[in-house]
Structure 1
């Protein structure tokens, strides 16, 4: 017995029934980005490992546990991209995109890879939109980016199901001071910590804030708070940002424990979350990274960006409306009951395709039993069914079945060609 192969764990197939919904979300987001004057950039899914280690941070979970690392034939270390910001910046620097103008508004889309424990909403290969805004360090840019996400949620009819969480990390120096005091605090309570949590204390104490442990959550109530360490300038810009969001009637909560999983962020960070997604509740996340371009070898250039997880958006849409991802994927299905009409069916299809691009012909020469073609059409999920049969074709007519309204019409073939919309009503 031959072996049955399965996809790699954590890598999932996107089947035709779901593709239609995915493409609708993709095209909606692309159109909004185009209207906001963002331009597409495409970078490789493989980069040198050192690029990610330098930018994301050696003490993050992504670098330590989640990277797909390889060696090429020349023994150089390369990695599948775990996120898109770093590759985007590398491409901008390498191709001198900041030479003429530091201000760049860019977007990209494609697969990202992280070796995480697969579960609902978390895959090892996942589809992600990334949006980056370079050249402006004002809180107005932060506001503009957040309002861009609001536009996307409104267009996708998801805004009422999402919650905006925001925070300010201050400067890297602010975070270092906070991290040191947080470490000192937890060193007094090491008895209840796991081995992994103890390791975080020596490598990246701030990551403890992300813990879901009830013991850690209880300790954090009396632990140092990040916003007490933020410098006055960062505090003022964050307050102004919150004022703008309030004036725009954007509902948000300030989450003092929101730190994001990457080391390069400063000042504003934000996440859009949904209670309908369980533990993997974040569908969009981003923040400001004013030092990263310079850190990767370019001239200093402030920036802010965000990423949207398309897989989680699809799961969210399904949880809201299970039928939203089960759209018809054929407008018209043409079936001939006698093989002599096979060529005619192709001719009719070619005449109608400019009006009905999603058009399918049943090319099987197998003779259908009476009314069996209707079962066939239901499996294909078509809006309309055109049936070619001798009894009608002999008088230049055709049977049109409206699957939606369960309504039948007999129409002259010539009228169908002259007006392809004739059988809609």
Structure 2
């Protein structure tokens, strides 16, 4: 072992963060900016690939470090919506709706921001468990983080940001009520194909309950994926294959094909245990309908880093518990409210996808709300809270949720063929609120 690692063995860090994705990097930066000694542990070497569309919406942008330069691969001004390949329509906006990044570049820059703030990064450090009692723990104010090789790192507070299959989440006792399987391919395409997609994304409401697919352009490649509830992986795989085929992309060889499970927490799932907090995917924090997780990771990570500092300063278990409960309240009063509305939207969408599709392509206020949410000027919860019509509509749909929709009924006509089946006759003007 190097002398540097030996010195770390004798160190009790103020905050140890496990996982260097957006949540972990955000937590490490927040704690380091408070002047604390922070160690950021990552099992992989950076940069590393992660299955993710890489969409950067307004809440994500607003949670980034000051002066952070987004490594955007494209800026989306138009979205084509389709219903399992039918009823295609493209809505456009003069202003950018959201940006697109490659996750390896994006995550690496977030880690660089954390290191610049003073956090220490250590890669190739897989964590096997954390212990808050026992011979590895020198006192009640300390948590032992045990690495895969047996090495122990000591901390006053720990933040678990180690993904949806989190070991730290298991220690905390995170419970989930919804698990989805996402499948994705990175497909290099020639310049003429890339040009057809530039500035335009596609969202396809899929054939499985609650499923959808996406195409995100990123320069000379397209990120194409689908997501559906776990339980029938073969059907989800068929959806992706059919989706790629309908798009005319099956002749191009993917550079990467990958899969990932996303887990959504129960409303009463714990977010802490003793001096250990969880955030992002490790806590099951994501938007239940769209399964958007980057903004949830960044925002919960920042809060976790801030409250981990307070836990590190706590002189006893009672004070540490009080600070952990404050973190839980901060999450539930913000992200938890958004998740509650997202759950209702997912239930409605799973039963009535045609209704959701029709609203987005044919009802100007719905498209305006979509644009406002992606830009970050409001949230889904904010729209329901401030717009009586939206609140009444969602309540009515809640009551009617047991009448399944038929997304593939015979009256659905497929739009003219083209990249994503784009309907050239679709309205191209920017609607109110865009």
Provide the TM-score with structure 2 as the length reference: 0.23
Higher helix share: 1
Q: Using CA pairs below 8 Å that are at least 6 residues apart, which structure has the higher relative contact order?
A: 2
Instruction: Mark the structure with the bigger radius of gyration.
Output: 1
